[in-house]
Structure 1
Amino acid sequence: MRYLVLLLSFLLLNLYSGNIIFAQNRSDIDQKVDSVLNLMTLDEKIGQMTQAERGALENISDISYYSLGSLLSGGGSSPSPNNQQTWADMYDEYQSHALQSRLGIPLIYGVDAVHGHNNVYGAVIFPHNIGLGCTWNPALVKSVNEITALEVAATGIDWTFSPCIAVPQNERWGRTYEGFGETAEIQEIMAAASVQGLQANLSEPQTILACAKHYVGDGGTQNGIDQGNTVVFEQVLRDLHMPGYIDAIENNVGSIMASYNSWNGVKLHGHEYLLTDVLKNELGFEGFVISDWAGVDQITEDYREAVKRAINAGIDMVMVPDRYIYFISILKSLVIDGEVSEERIDDAVRRILKQKFLLNLFEKPYTDSSLASSFGSAEHRNVARQAVRESVVLLNAKNDVMPLDKDNQKILVAGSLANDLGGQCGGWTISWQGSNGNITQGTTILQGIQNFVQSSEVIYSENGSYDDDVDVAIVVIGENPYAEGAGDRNSLLVEDEQVNLVKSIKEKGIPVITLLVSGRPMIIGEVLPYTDAFMACWLPGTEGDGIAEVLFGDYNPSAKLTHSWPREMNQIPINYGDYNYYPLFAYKYGLQEFPSALASQNLELYCAIAESPNTITLTLSDKITAYNIDYSDIELKVNNQVVANDLVDLSISDIDESSLILELNSSLNNTDKISISYYGDGIFSNSLQLNTFNDYYVYNSVSGSGGSILLPGKVEAENYVDMQGIQTEPCTDIGGGLNVGFIEPGDWMKYNVNVNQRGLYAVKTRISGYNSGSLLIQFNNENDTYVNYQSTNGWQSWQTFSTEVMLEEGSYEMKVTAQANAFNINYFDFELINNINDVDASLGEIVLKPNPVKSQFIIELNTYHTDNISIKLYNLNGILIQTLYEGQTSPGINNYNFILDNKINTGTYIIEIKDSKKRHFKKLITTKG
């Protein structure tokens, strides 16, 4: 034994005989890697391929006993108290145990530092990537990542699971904000800058290992479902989703994370062609591939088979994250049985060791204490402030409302998100999902505004109630924090309460600046007519005063969109380059001047909305001082048809002198597609004349439906927004009107519907004809349900045929597809059977009771068919606390009774209910007593 120790010491001394320099001594590092690899046993090699969550360690001595290669902190998995020093102490303790192993191979420790070191209280939190993308400033993004690397390194940590270079194609996806934008172009620019900033030459103490993720196609899943299926041709995968990885590889990214999603039905974690043939062999990636959190488990239910497929496909390190001992035993048996080759094991370990040498971990394994003084520093916050002001996109502006005056103004600030540090940081901040409130150190948007004024007065009213006169109001609206699948949404409409807040202030005659804090573009058609300036602030992080710097004119707006902004829900997905590309705001759009400068140049149409059946409001970019026009100068189109002689009156709005109200003779329906044209020359703002415009989009908000048919209610078959193959004809059924007919198999109609009550619906469909068959009804291309019908022996002999469907509150595109011919449809009548508080559109009703819970509770599921499900309890750090159920459901109501482990503490937890299609989340609050 003494001989072995002396031999090992001699070898390691030779390993460390020169400075490790990233570019010049790469061949020396390869020799050092081979020297260590030749000393390793199979057990030690498998240990290096294992990454465990710190909270899942059964014993800290397991680090050395199993020669674990890596630990991680999942979102929110922090030492107590949560600060820089305790993180450094924690890291050093874990590292000391790793160095006690037979070969003393150091750990590499990973965290999700995705917008700064967002795990640690007091760290600087930068805007999420969606905001950084809008800066179009790679030098700034490089600086952001340099600071992130330094602050992460100051806590000892040497690896971040960043950058995320997803290319989000559907804003319904809950991870949209993690990508830089919707094109390969922006991902390429920012992937390179991010990797350069994080890694530099890797051997310096302030650099850390980067991890490009999630390879590949995570942003392209059908319907924007997290961890779903990306169904595209390989050329699309290569042209759209892969270029960012190529740039990251060209900049020597040290690790790449496999994605949860599937490509054309095959899970990426088990995709040998993409992980090995393309990534490693074709693209020349020399780093190692890390799985996502328990991503290997999703390949197949047989864990042994899943591990075999993953390792053979090219996964080099497995983020287990909890059953690391079981994983080690499984992988060892696979090697012994010849199902995984030793060559594959050696390749994986060689890749891991190489990055550890490049990081200089063998020579300097512990925290560099000299970095602590820069953690959360004013210098770092200045860069974050710059990132904020360069990321906010000024979408619209009028009436010279900006810039604000630091003196002699009375400024009302409203909206709960104005004074919510956690809200403006978003998900992946201190905890996995993030949370509202003062969760760390920083400056809220409100505080930033208060800090900038001199003699101006700032009044904050969360609900906007303030009776005295004010000069201007700033209203902050948006989304509360979320992460991953918990952020998947069927509707991106601004909440009614927030719309009403903006409207109520504007209706007092107060100029309104609206700030949207969100992780994605949202549907803002109901808000724009009541706001004089609209800024997309994304999720800006801790330095809210960067927004104030733009509001008060210290800096001009400069950001440009990296997402196409949809007009309405049925436009989603909409992406640059689409056929019939007609967004509300286009890719790369963003005003680069203040409204006063804009107003001096042109008078433009700002927005248009129909809020009642007989009126349309046109809002201009400045106050209307005179108008003298013929009614024939304005042309209205409804459903692409010109409505002649429909205008009966014009007037200027009492609450906004820049708005012109058009009264109509006809009555608009909430399903109508409306556009308007102006060909005259008689509308003025002082010396400026309104420019003509053609087929300008009018947001349909008739009956408050957001342009959709309200459910419960009746969907007349002829009121489709799009169709293929069908025609209409007079109907003799009760109520008359029209029906659709001349139907062939594969013909379809689409409808915009808005469900305002969640629950189980009876769909009563009026059908006539000479054939039997079925109709497929889909909501946002999922939640399939069929209406089966029989022959009625007559083209106008109408009968009712029914089915049931569970619907969540929100907006949908309802698509009806014929499976047969020779029948007519009059209408679909949606009747609410059960009114339910919590419904998931994929699984059915989910009821959790009681909540809060002391020890026992019930989960009630309403499902449509037999399915395999799992029910698991996680803490807010994403750590599995208890597996509650794994098995099958039956169609209908399923009741599950659970008793919590008596070791579970009081607090808030996440219940994950996973079916064959997606994951569903519920919050559970536990109490004692």
Structure 2
Amino acid sequence: MGACATVPNAASTVSTPAAANEADVVADLLSRMSVERKVAQLIQPQINSFTAADMERYRFGSYLNGGNGGPYGDEFAPASEWLRLADEMYDASVKPLPNGEPAIATMWGTDAVHGHSNVVGATIFPHNIALGATGDADLVRRIGHATAIEIEVTGIDWNFSPTVAVAQDDRWGRTYESYSENPDLVAKLGAALVEGLQGSKGAGDFLGDGRVIATAKHFFGDGGTDQGVDQGDVNGDIEALIDLHGRPYPATIAAGVEAVMASFNSINGTKMHGNQPLLTDVLRGRMGFDGLVVGDWNGHGQIKGCTVTDCPQSLMAGLDIYMVPDDWKPLMDSLVAQVRDGTIPMARLDEAVARILRVKQRAGLIGADAKRPSERGVAGRFDLLASPEHRALAREAVAKSQVILKNNGVLPLKAGANVLVAGSASDDIGRASGGWTLEWQGGSKDQLPRERFPNASSIWDGIRENVAASGGTATLSEDGSFTSRPDVAVVVFGERPYAEFAGDQRDLVFRDEEGLKLLRQYSEAGIPAVAVFLSGRPLWMNRELNVADAFVASWLPGSEGAGVADVLTGKREATGRLSFSWPESCMGQPVNGPDGALFAFGYGRMLGDTSPLAGLSEDCPALAANDSADMFGSGRLGSGVSAFVGRLDGAGFEELMPQMRGDMNGSGVVARGYDRDAQEDSREIALQAGSYFGLQQADDTGGAYRIAYEVVTRPTAPIVLRASTTDGGEKVLDLTEQFALAYSKGWREMVISEACVANLGSRIAFEAEGAITFRISSVKRETTDAELECSF
């Protein structure tokens, strides 16, 4: 980095007197900026779609890494590479401009929603739903500070956190990002995280060393959509909605939050990215917010009359920064033209830019003290990533978040006991961490193996350590088998990781019966069993609650699973209390609240509470309602489904493609996320000549394949679909003519049924003799009429 030490910083290019007041500095900068440079401040692309040369040419005001984005195309890049890229982009942004125009430092934003969880080796704290169960604002404040320190280590300026949604329906896939169904608890903890990230407003370290810009999101109503549908509509009396879903915002504003992110959802039919009465009149007028408003991923493109590349409506409604991951150039062009033709008044453009500059000045990016990312505070102190102090803090948070719902006396585990630890999640840190962990959707250990978590402990690690310390023995058996009869079994199971819309459910049924089967097995053998349930929300667990001797809601604890063991073994008292009511019904009704709850908000047992839990009804009509199976949808593979690639000549061995995304060089297949209706809800598949790509179910559900697809390039050689059959054979369908007709025609549907493939099996593959690119947004298996014809 020494070779770059002579690159001018923002102080020398902006040349503002240190004593100048905020308004004068901003006014001076605005007076010397061209329209193009002002518009560039409004543009926030993602690191995968531009280069440092683009930064130098266009001078983006900010940029971000998406949930699957990493420096130089490597989402698992070491921390040093994150810092190197931060310096590279900063240097490009502050290179001198001609004619005295000021060069304004850019800023990097990231989703560090439970620790700096995009970076390998960082501390992964429990998700917000778990922190809500602690009810401990001081703990959350300390976590915010630790997170800010680890963010600054990598040179990043801005955190898109905290989420202050007041989730009202646990079917919503983002429930775990919400602290609670209770708006007052959300307000208290949201404000505490802001103070931890930024420092206390008015204090000497506010936005100083070891602090970063915070963002309250998503304004507003993201947790109140009808039936918990992500990005859906929130309906009702506007004042009642503001009182419920808007209540956390005054608290975070009072704490000094410098940024607010607009929500994807609509309020009474109007998308928030274009909702001037709420973004401007309520947020700025009534609530007094003076920071910047940033959009969410292409959210402006969802406004009626807008596209991703043409949307003055958002700016006029009150948005200051467009999060436009990939289509930044045409959006910049359209905004410049709209300023020049008067569609966007210069006063509104200056207002938005002034807000951005004001935040940058407060954050130390403008002025005499501005420094390159690697020269700030604790930047480059990689030993602070998952430092012993931060790991101890995470372990404390995990322990304080454990909620005991049932205990027949098996907890705490007795000293000297022979403990069997079972379940596929027991030694899986990715599973315990949930979504927004190294990858946007997170992943289990087949996608995120243990080496991705070099500074972490699994739940198994913690149980082994604590049991050994008490003079006992612990044995790991993920499948639950044993040769020596244990005194007690601990079964760790739960939801597989997801993020956003991929986690939306139509009901509250937990359909994975791995844990249930193990608990029943131990019950029948007379072995006491403890259920440790990992989840991003309360779910209908009556069957598991009935058969377990103890049941612990562990939420998504993150990288310090030893905190779970601290409660199980009695090293710490169980102080966690439900921040969400626990459902009695599996059908998703009622939404959060005391009416119909099995366990109300605030419930939780101390270790010594062994009062019996009455038998619960196991009747659930939704369990039988499963006439289709999603193989791929909402950007993720279905349960038990794998994606695979290979070469037709056999030169490359067949290999799996985790999460249906990646560059499989040996096979000549590249799959990347594509936004059809939502962020990366689809995949773009590029096949080189002689390669293939396919999907396979572990358990054949039967039924026709229904595939939503779009052909991007016209086929120049044969492309076929090879489908397996239940009798061990295969059937090859020539798609060349159909793909040629479908080229450039937009999204279409393909149905592969028994009519063209008798005895249709569980595996399909697209095989290309020539290079071709197509997109897939969903693949389903459906029970259909026997007469259903195949179609393309």
What TM-score range do you get, normalising by the shorter chain?
0.7 to 0.9
C-alpha deviations, 1:501-527, integer Å up to 9, x for none? 111112110111110001001111001
Q: Secondary structure of 2:223's match?
A: helix
Summarize the alignment of residues 379-390 of structure 1 with structure 2, pairs less than 5 Å apart: 379-390=389-400
Where 1:17 maps in the other structure, the secondary structure is: coil
Return the alpha-carbon distance in structure 2 between the equivalents of residues 53 and 847 of structure 1: 18
Q: Which residue of 1 aligns with 2:500?
A: 484
Partner residue in 2 for 1:754: 624
Cα drift, residue 911 of structure 1: 5.0
Farther-moved stretch of structure 1 (77-86 vs 415-424)? 77-86
Once the 2 structures are TM-superposed, how far is the Cα of residue 849 of structure 1 from its aligned partner?
14
> What are the Cα deviations for residues 388-419 of structure 1, in whole angstroms up to 9, with x where unaligned?
00011111111x2111134x210000000001
Alpha-carbon distance change, 364 to 910 in structure 1, aligned in 2, over 3 angstroms: farther
Letter matched to residue 614 of structure 2: C
Matches for 1:216-295 after TM superposition, within 5 Å: 216-295=220-299
Distance 2:427 2:11 in 1: 58
**Is the CA contact (8 Å cut-off) linking 1:849 and 1:857 kept in structure 2?**
no
Check conservation: 2:122, 2:385, Cα contact below 8 A: yes
Is 2:609 the partner of 1:598? yes
Contact conserved, 1:51 with 1:68, CA < 8 A, in 2?
Answer: yes
Higher normalized strand content (fraction of residues): 1
Residues 556 and 903 of structure 1: CA distance in aligned 2, closer, same or farther (over 3 Å): farther
- Greater RCO, CA 8 A, separation 6+: 2
**Counterparts of 1:430 and 1:322, CA distance in 2:** 21
Structure 1 position 191, deviation (Å):
1.2
Contact 1:258 1:289 in 2 (8 A): yes
Unmatched 5+ residue regions in structure 2? 1-7, 200-204, 631-637, 640-676, 696-703, 714-741, 757-763, 780-792
Runs of 4+ in 1 over 6 A off after TM superposition: 8-11, 846-854, 856-861, 868-873, 883-886, 890-905
For residues 192 and 223 of structure 1, the distance between their equivalents in structure 2, rounded to whole angstroms, comes to 28
Q: Percent identity?
A: 35
- Which residue of 49, 70, 77 corresponds with 2:69? 77
Q: Which residue of structure 2 aligns with residue 440 of structure 1?
A: 453
Letter paired with 1:586: A
- Which of the residues 476, 479, 493 maps onto 2:509? 493
Could you tell me which of 19, 38, 44 is aligned with 1:45? 38
Question: Aligned partners of 1:507, 1:222: CA distance in 2, in Å?
Answer: 42
Partner Cα distance (1:901, 1:97) in 2:
44
Q: Any residues of structure 2 matched to 1:758-773 within 5 Å, and which?
A: 758=628
1:621-658 Cα distance to aligned partner (Å, 9 max, x none): xxxxxxxxxxxxxxxxxxxxxxxxxxxxxxxxxxxxxx
Partner of 1:336: 340
**Quick check: 1:412–1:459 contact (8 Å CA) kept in 2?**
yes
User: Partner residue of 2:18?
Assistant: 17
- Counting only pairs closer than 5 Å after superposition, residues 249-648 of structure 1 correspond to structure 2 as 249-300=253-304, 302-303=306-307, 307-362=311-366, 363-367=370-374, 368=376, 370-371=378-379, 372=381, 373-398=383-408, 400-406=409-415, 408-437=416-445, 438=450, 439-441=452-454, 442-454=456-468, 455-494=471-510, 495-576=512-593, 581-591=595-605, 593-594=606-607, 597-599=608-610, 604-608=611-615
Q: Structure 2 vs 1, CA of residues 871 and 154 (structure 1 numbering), >3 Å: closer, same or farther?
A: farther
Q: Compute the displacement of 1:251 (Å).
A: 1.2
Q: Aligned equivalents of 1:384 and 1:132: distance in 2? A: 10
The offset of 1:440, in angstroms, is: 1.7
1:56-107 Cα shifts (integer Å, max 9, x gaps)? 01x4211121121111111131234622222111111111101115222111
Q: CA deviation at 1:564?
A: 0.7
The letter for the 2-side match of 1:159 is: W
Answer yes or no: is the 8 Å Cα contact 2:220–2:263 preserved in 1: yes
Greater fraction helix: 2
CA distance in structure 2 between the partners assigned to 1:573 and 1:50 by the alignment: 42
Closer/same/farther in 2, CA of residues 107 and 565 from structure 1, 3 Å limit: same
Question: How many correspondences in the alignment?
Answer: 653
Is the 8 Å Cα contact of residues 14 and 104 (structure 2) preserved in structure 1? no
Deviations 1:794-851 (A, max 9, x none): xxxxxxxxxxxxxx99xxxxxxxxxxxxxxxxxxxxxxxxxxxxxxxx99xx999999
- Cα distance in 1 for partners of 2:563, 2:308 equals 51
Q: Secondary structure at the match of 1:131?
A: helix
Look up the SS of the partner of 1:516 in the other structure. strand
- Alpha-carbon distance between aligned partners in 1 of 2:771 and 2:106, rounded to the nearest angstrom: 30
Q: Tell me which residue corresponds to 1:707.
A: 620
Can you list the C-alpha shifts for 1:187-237, whole angstroms capped at 9, x where unaligned?
Answer: 111111011001115431211000111111011111111111111220221
For the 8 Å contact 1:153–1:207, the answer to whether it is kept is: yes
Residues 169/310 of structure 1: CA separation in 2 closer, same or farther (3 Å cut): same
Q: 5 Å matches for 1:626-775?
A: 698-699=616-617, 701=618, 706-708=619-621, 754-758=624-628
Deviates more, 1:296-305 or 1:200-209: 296-305
- 1:440 maps to a residue whose letter is F
Query: How far off is 1:287 after superposition?
Result: 0.6
Q: Does the CA-based 8 Å contact 2:398-2:564 persist in structure 1? A: yes
Q: Are 1:256 and 1:290, in contact at CA under 8 Å, matched by a contact in 2?
A: yes
Where in structure 1 are there 5+ consecutive unaligned residues? 1-5, 19-26, 609-697, 709-751, 761-807, 810-841, 874-882, 915-929
**Would the aligned equivalents of 2:480 and 2:518 in 1 still touch at CA under 8 Å?**
yes
Does structure 1 conserve the Cα–Cα contact (< 8 Å) formed by 2:45 and 2:63?
A: yes
- Output one character per residue of 1:356-389: Cα deviation in whole Å (capped at 9) or x when no partner: 1111012123223644132220011000000000
- Residue 156 of structure 2 is aligned to residue 124 of structure 1: no
| C-alpha spacing 1:901/1:146, structure 2 compared with 1 (3 Å) | farther
State how far apart, in whole Å, the 1-side matches of 2:584 and 2:105 are: 53
Q: Residues 885, 505 of structure 1: CA spacing in aligned structure 2 closer, same or farther, 3 A cutoff?
A: farther
Residue 108 of structure 1 corresponds to which residue in structure 2? 107
Report the CA distance between 1:280 and its aligned residue.
1.4
Helix, strand or coil for the counterpart of 1:416? Answer: coil
**Which residue does the alignment assign to 1:22?**
none
SS at match of 2:426: helix
Equivalent-residue separation in structure 2 for 1:847 and 1:560 (angstroms) = 38
- TM-score normalised by structure 1 residue count: 0.66
User: Among residues 78, 81, 84, which one is paired with 1:86 in the alignment?
Assistant: 81
Going from structure 1 to structure 2, the CA distance change for 1:886 and 1:36 (only over 3 Å counts) comes to farther
Structure-to-structure mapping, 1:49-68, within 5 angstroms:
49-57=42-50, 59-68=51-60
2:344 and 2:766 map into 1 onto residues whose CA distance is 39
CA deviation vs aligned residue, 1:486-515 (integer Å, no higher than 9, x gap) = 111124323223211111112110111110
1:821 is matched with none
The one-letter amino acid paired with 1:522 is L
CA distance in 2, matches of 1:365, 1:356: 14
d(CA) in 2 for partners of 1:756, 1:559: 35
Q: Alpha-carbon deviations, 1:138-179, whole Å to 9, x = none? A: 000000000000000110001010000111111111111001
Aligned to 2:92: 97
Structure 1 contact 129–178 (Cα < 8 Å) conserved? yes
Letter in 2 for 1:150: I
Letter in 2 for 1:29: E
Q: Give the secondary-structure state (helix, strand or coil) at the position aligned to 2:207.
A: coil
Amino acid in the other structure paired with 1:157: I
User: Residue 555 of structure 1 aligns to which amino acid in structure 2?
Assistant: R
Name the CA shift for 1:520/1:101 in 2 (closer, same or farther; >3 Å).
Answer: farther
What per-residue deviation string (whole Å, max 9, x for no partner) do you get for residues 849-896 of structure 1?
999997567999859xxxx998999xxxxxxxxx99774658989999
Structure 1 pair 855/217, CA: closer, same or farther in 2 (3 Å)?
A: farther
Structure 2 distance, partners of 1:482, 1:527, is: 22
Return the letter of the residue paired with 1:285. F
